[in-house]
Amino acid sequence: MRPGKPAQQPSPALAASLAGAVDLAAVKARSEAAARAAEAPAPVSGEYIVDVTEATFQSAVIDRSFQVPVLIDLWADWCQPCKQLSPILERLANESAGQWVLAKIDTDANPRIAQALSVQSIPTVYAVISGQLVPGFQGALPEAQVREFVAAVLKAAEQANLSEAGATSDAEPAADPRFDAAEKALAEGDYAAAAQAFQSILDAEPSNADAASALRQVALLQRIDALDASALSRADGAPGDVAAQLAAADYALAGGDVEAAFARLLQTLRRTSGDDRDAVRDRLVEYFDILGPEDPRVGPARRQLASALF
């Protein structure tokens, strides 16, 4: 809540709670991680393969991904397919000579990482580019297909303007100064200024995924900033009021109750039609985009949305 706003408006604690639901602090965290990566030495010969633990995940995977793409190999000693895939990944990592880094994570020793990544089976491979998780594959693929995946990751990193992609390991990444004003405004609770700053980035670079994601999150915060606790009671008392249902869903999401927000919108979708139905669908899709495909709650809700629509 900014100075001068009525007391009944959501407090900073409410806005802060949104970070647990949609990672609103991601932009700021990416900036800090990029700064740490810029100060850290780039990978040198012999350091293209690293064993990662919960204690080193931030520095070895997230921070490092601002220098070069990081491929995550989730494995366990008892897993026979892992013993087929890991040597391929290790060989390719050494061949790359610093174009990317292989992070090996023993899921038995680091179960919380596996849980956070929603790992269903092993081996599982992900990529991380500039702090963003990129879906990979499960199972032991032939070397040719693994090479195709690595090539796709390097291409994605290049498109994301990751300075290290396809370059030697001597280069140092540069932080994007255009985000500074947006992050400062966001930290101060000036959502209008933050939205304007992120929009200016998109105007100059329409494909900037970070700015687009941040802008969606700021738009959500702007809506939440206009709500109060009565949003839920108003919606419960008027199930046919679509605007009230959308507001109540925003409020639930802000409080970290993602399932309740999804459930409310899906129920509303089933009893609406026309423009109202489109508005509810669009709000659900917005939530999916903000949370990201790796969030385990998104997949089931997306399937329920498809079922309700078709």
Q: Which residues are catalytic?
A: 79, 82
Nearest to 157 by CA among 130, 125, 124, 126: 130
Residue 160, CA atoms < 13 Å, CB-side half-sphere:
26
Residue 49 φ then ψ, to 5°: -130, 125
Task: Give, in degrees to the nearest 5, the angle at Cα 11 between 30 and 241.
Answer: 100
In sequence order, the 6+-apart residues with CB closer than 8 A to the CB of 186 are 27, 28, 194, 214, 218
Rounded Cα distance between 293 and 295, Å, is 5
Nearest to 227 by CA among 195, 260, 249, 206: 249
Query: In angstroms, how far is CA 242 from the centroid of its own chain?
Result: 28
